[in-house]
A and B are shown apart, each in its own frame.
Chain A
Amino acid sequence: MKITYVKNRLQTALAEASPVMAQTSLDRAEALLAEMGDDCRQRLDELLAQFPAGLTGDADAMRQQVRGVYETARRMVGVGTVAGLPEVDVVARSLCDAADGLLQRDKLEWEPIRVHISTMTLLRRTDLPAEAKQQLLTSLEALRGKYAAPAPVKAG
């Protein structure tokens, strides 16, 4: 085994910059993120529109469609929070788990995907009461648990 001690170049670059309080940097970043809300809501709508209406064709085609659902959901994660819709991120991650689990087990079922997409569409509405949002997320948890791929088990 070779061990190398190197100078931390990030530390060097930070030390060369004029001093700014971290809290000031953080406030500026959050202000800039707040400006992205509309763009992120629009992006969420575009991604929601990319989900298929169902799985069609032979097994290979369906596998590709589930793969596409996974990729679309993965791209959604993080956008919801900046859009002011953090619950959409939760559902998108849950859909990633479910779609990944379906692919790992080669179970090409549409129902768990449909439920996730419907939930996301509902959560996209900004007028939904907080209790209703929470209920939707709670009911989805059982579905995620049923379809998500199990974590890999370490040998030994």
Chain B
Amino acid sequence: MSASKAPKVLLNLQKTAVLLADSDTMGQSIVVQMLVGFGARNIVRCDEADDVRRLLKNQAFDLVIMDPASFGAEGYDLLTSLRREQTSPNKHAPVLVVTGHTEQNRVGQLRDAGANFIVSRPLSAAVLLDRILWMSREKRPYVETNHYVGPDRRWRDAALPLGQTGRRQKDKEVAARIAAGGEMNQADIDLVMNAPVDTAATA
């Protein structure tokens, strides 16, 4: 069962300021349809890297959805520089990267760019909704080192969103129950929806 189908889960993006950065207009339009369905009214669409950079410096967003690959090599720098820009109103904004394909020699660059989450196209409305819900409940701190700036990647008890293949035993147990057609119990829902941050791991 996806998080969106869990009872009493709410989602309305009516008050959420969204930046959608994608140089491909059809890719943009597909995501816009989903966001409008989720109630979003304040969506800034941007298909030029320079405009994305300018907007990120000057306007605060509650959610940034970006396809860095669509802007070529410069796209990966957009996200990295966003996280390193000390005065940016979006330095700690939740960023969801949506990608059709990532070149093998850019996988590491994308991984280290500081996104909160990366999803692959084709993107269904259910997956986008689940990821937005998941990001809204995130409690990870942001870390800043010489080599990485972004959400802390050293976290333990926070389960992955459903549909993602986890490597932990707990992930596998939840996945196995769902695969077997079993309903999620409250503990599973808590695991997905209220992922606790392991503060000890961030010290």
Q: Show the binding face of A for B, using Cβ within 8 Å.
A: 1-6, 8-14, 16-23, 25-33, 35-36, 39-40, 43, 70, 73-82, 86, 89, 92-93, 96-97, 100-101, 103-104, 149-152
Contact = CB atoms under 8 A, between A and B. Distances in A.
Interface stretch (B27-35, B48-56, B165-173, B180-188): B27-35
Contacts of B35: 29
Interface of B: 3-6, 8-17, 24, 26-27, 29-30, 33-39, 60, 62-63, 69-70, 92-94, 100-101, 103-105, 107-108, 121-126, 128-129, 132-133, 135-139, 141-145, 152, 202
B103 A100 contact: yes
B100 A77 contact: yes
B83 to A, nearest CB: 11
Nearest to A76: B100
B121 A8 contact: no
B131 to A, nearest CB: 11
B196 to A, nearest CB: 14
8 contacts: A3-B202, A5-B141, A14-B15, A17-B39, A22-B3, A33-B125, A36-B29, A96-B101
Nearest to B5: A23
Determine chain A's interface SS by DSSP, over half rule: helix
B12 A77 contact: no
Contacts of B11: 14, 20-22, 25
A155 B6 CA distance: 41
B34 A152 contact: no
A12 B62 contact: yes
B67 to A, nearest CB: 9
B20 to A, nearest CB: 14
A26 B29 CA distance: 16
B126 A26 contact: yes
A36 B31 CA distance: 11
B27 A75 contact: yes
Contacts of A39: 26, 29
A5 B138 CA distance: 11
Nearest to B100: A77
Contacts of B103: 70, 100, 103-104, 149
Contacts of A1: 143-145
B121 A29 contact: no
Contacts of B33: 29, 32-33, 35-36
A17 B37 contact: no
Contacts of B4: 22-23, 25-26
Contact of A74 (B69, B128, B145, B152): B69
Contacts of A149: 103-105
A7 to B, nearest CB: 9
